[in-house]
Chain A
Amino acid sequence: MGITFVRIALLVAVLFITSNLSIAVAHADNAKYKKSVENYTIPDVTLFNQDGKKVRLSSLTNSDVPVIVDFIYGTCTTICPVLSAGFVNIQKRLGTDSNKVRLISITIDPENDSPKVMKDYLKRYRAKPGWDFLTGSRADIDTVMKAFNAYIPDKMSHYPLNMIRMPKNGSWVRLFGLMSTKEFMHEYQLAADK
């Protein structure tokens, strides 16, 4: 009797767990992107841009126009090309107003991403001025990832993330997931509103 009860209880538990699992998975599959507003303290680090020039990250992010940051790497497949296509399209949509946004891609593969690799990458995507790709020492890159609550110990387990800094108050809109250009433009405009 006791054993049967344990078996039934186990069966119920398993069913409960698996049904919850399938709901969680289905939900995640359907989710488009998640949005939150965060406050980040930009660490005082100096990185290198695609021209090999030293760039103080906090000077770059401190801007009167919205600043959009993402984490990618030069030889990445899957999500980086899609994130970068998002940057390209936002520059295209803004056209002559493309100076009204500052785009910053930060590498998560600082060993391989030399200024040359990054310059070639931007060229491949026909990036316009106003889109910088930054590399640096692994320690500095780790510090930056941690500051944006985006630390990953290995580049192979990264995820799609855009962060838009709102010039009016310096807060950041954190956007997890892939957006359509229309959605991305909408988020940009919300962030740009004075």
Chain B
Amino acid sequence: MSQNIAQCVKSLLRPALSAALMVLLLAAPGQTETIQATALSKTEMLRLGERMYREGILPSGKPMNAFIRGDVEVDSTAFSCSSCHLRAGLGSVEGGVVTPPTNGMRLYKAYRRPPSLNDIPDRAGRFVYAKTVSERPPYSRESLATALRFGTDPAGQSFNDIMPRYPIDDHDMAILINYLESLSSSYSPGATNAGYAFATIITDDVSQEDREALLAPLQKFIAGTNQQVEMYEEFIKFGYSPTIDMKYAFRNASLTIWNLKGAPKTWRKQLAEYYAKEPVFAVLGGISNQDWQPIHNFCEEQRLPCLFPITELPVVSESDWYNYYFNRGYFQEGEAAARFINRMDGIAARTPILQVIQESPAGKALAAGFQKAWSDLEHPTVNSVNVTSKQLRDPKFYSKLLLDNKPGVLLLWTDAGVISSIPRLITKLDTPAQIYLSSSYLGKQAATIPESVRSNVYITYPYRLTPYVGSKEGFDAKVPILATATDFGDNRITSRTNTMLKQVTLQGLKLLYDNLYRDHLLDVMSMQMDQVARDYERLSFGPGQRYVSKGCYVIQLGKGADPALLAKSEWVIH
């Protein structure tokens, strides 16, 4: 056996990798028979295996080195197993590369690549850039170790060059293989071949009207899904034989409403009770006017996908996995203001900026977004003042504040209570005398900003500006509609929940087939094509990206009582 492997090494690999692997082989003669459990505890084995798989770090803490095309050395901390095989290990299709599943359940079975339309290359041969082998026998632990080290499957076929070859020793190999065996090995809670259990979350500060705006599309979706199953069953009764794909296309769905009452600190306990009573596969949307954090944290702990709730106060994280949002809410508006000011010639360098933050979750989130983006742009921290809603309406308070700070740019992260003071504030500002506000925080009253000062006032606006075709109630009237200031403060609950269901979640559910794993749902959702949506210019996805609408305009108001929104920036500001 060792002889065979040595031959493989010689014929397949280039000198750099060959040398690394020969060292391994010489150090461990007869290694192929020793891929088995080590003395570590089960939990520790899994933890270390998960780190190898997801982060490319060996149990020793060193990076897992790998080689591509024989001599292209890659550091697996930048490029791990989960980069291509994804977190659930069910593989991916991206960049013309078809990556096969790598969980034990699939590896230890024979594999046959299903034929697909993409088997026909386009004229440039692009779509067949890197395919998996068309057929292979089941792996054993030993042949799996050979595959990872030398890039050959049990039938002796070589992998495509894009799969790195890993010179891993027996001890570490046993840990990695043990992890692959455990990966996606039993269905996630809340899903069976018969159907999905879903929940949605509503907190008690939400009005009855908003509650209905959320539930209408959700309940319609569930009813529609179940109706399709009934129709499908009728077809079967009448003798229709489903194809393999069809077998997984229809599943029943149920929706439980998780109503959360009282203080946010009690939500966790309430969520745990709901979850214990009936674990669900995913949380489909939801709504709260309060900070979403307790719900976010619960879903991360339970590894429960929480998909696109209506909230302006999501958790902003670059590494959390289970919570998907439309955008970063108020935080994103603050970021947009920072990036916009940064791009205005000279302002950032020479103009004092004052940030006025209303003492509220919205004010704080707007300020946090501004500060984060401003410091990422390597500008010094700006002066900030926290104000109560009472101070917000006190002209004397402002006079003193502006006298003390002499700003040329004023960020007013406040509600509409400030509008009547704006003309007076502007007279007290140095050049360029600019005021920045958030459309979401101001709401509809933004349209009452006096015309005389509109050229000094900039407003962050995180929604679509350009015409979309349809009526505001649906997509029936084929007329272009422009957003105006009367759209401020509209939570777009029904339309956004519809987008979540029809454009994003359904796309993911369709691709699950018989892989009913929550991680797989998130994997396939993150690998989908960009989409144009009713409320946003573009939704874009990507591995690990969890805020799908990346844009936020900075606008000014046109004339009149229903002013046009004049874009002063791109949708995405760099």
Contact = CB atoms under 8 A, between A and B. Distances in A.
B574 A136 contact: yes
Interface string B77-93: 11100011010000010
Give the bracket for the number of chain A residues in contact with chain B.
Answer: 35 or more
Mostly helix, strand, loop or mixed at chain B's interface? Answer: loop
A85 B72 contact: yes
Contacts of A116: 376
A11 B77 CA distance: 52
Given A21-B119, A76-B95, A78-B99, A111 B550 contact: yes
Given A29-B128, A82-B72, A181-B72, A52 B377 contact: yes
Interface stretch (B140-148, B184-192, B250-258, B536-544): B536-544
B544 A29 contact: no
B79 A79 contact: no
A171 to B, nearest CB: 20
- Nearest first, the 5 A-B pairs at minimum CB distance are A81-B79, A180-B69, A111-B550, A28-B128, A75-B542
Contact of B74 (A75, A85, A138): A85
B545 A112 contact: yes
B71 interface: yes
A1 interface: no
Given A25-B131, A89-B72, A160-B129, A79 B574 contact: no
B96 interface: yes
A48 B573 CA distance: 11
Given A52-B342, A156-B527, A182-B71, A112 B162 contact: no
A29 B131 contact: yes
> Which of A73, A109, A180 is packed against the most chain B CB atoms within 10 Å?
A180
Interface residues of B, number: 54
A137 B130 CA distance: 30
B160 interface: yes
Contacts of B95: 76-80, 156-160
Nearest to A89: B72
Interface of B: 14, 68-74, 77-79, 83-84, 86, 92, 94-97, 99, 119-121, 124-126, 128-131, 160-162, 342, 376-378, 527-530, 538, 540-545, 550-551, 570-572, 574
Given A78-B97, A156-B528, A182-B71, 6 more contacts: A21-B120, A34-B125, A48-B574, A76-B543, A81-B78, A180-B14
B529 A114 contact: no
> Which of B14, B95, B160 is packed against the most chain A CB atoms within 10 Å?
B95
Contact of B540 (A29, A111, A137): A111
Contacts of A80: 95
B531 to A, nearest CB: 10
A180 B37 CA distance: 36
B97 A79 contact: yes
Given A28-B121, A77-B94, A81-B78, A114 B574 contact: yes
